Amino acid sequence: MDRETVEKVAKTARLALSEEELERYSRDLSEILDYFRILDESPEGDGVGVDPVEIADIMRDDVPGIFMDPYELLRDMKTYENYVRGPKLL
């Protein structure tokens, strides 16, 4: 990545970078982008990814229901007309 782009990004992020840091980040980001270019050139797999185990939907369907009597839960709480009262917000 060129130094000018690193300077713009640093300015946008409000980072004060020294000359040495600008050079180092420019070099490091260029290397990282080169690695991504190598990955872009790699052949695509035929459905087999990093994890060879098929990932299936394991989420259960939500079934609404009452597992506990709401009035029993509210019995020991400070309530106002069956609403729980919390602290005042400033």
Domain of residue 29, residue span:
3-41
52 located within any domain: no
Choose among 3, 1, 4, 5: nearest CA to 35.
1
Q: Which of 8-12, 16-20, 56-60 has the lowest mean pLDDT?
A: 56-60
Tens of pLDDT, residues 66-90: 788 888 888 888 888 878 888 888 7
Which pLDDT band holds residue 16 (cuts at 50, 70, 90)? Answer: very high
In the three-class reduction of DSSP (H, G, I as helix; E, B as strand; rest coil), residue 79 is classed as: strand
Q: What pLDDT shows up at residue 58?
A: 77
Measured CA to CA, the distance from residue 69 to residue 66 in angstroms comes to 7
Measured from the Cβ of residue 89, the count of other Cβ atoms closer than 10 Å reads: 4
If one counts the domains in the chain, the total is 1
CATH number at residue 16: 1.10.20
Which tens digit of pLDDT belongs to each residue from 25-71?
999 999 999 999 998 888 776 665 676 777 777 788 888 887 888 88
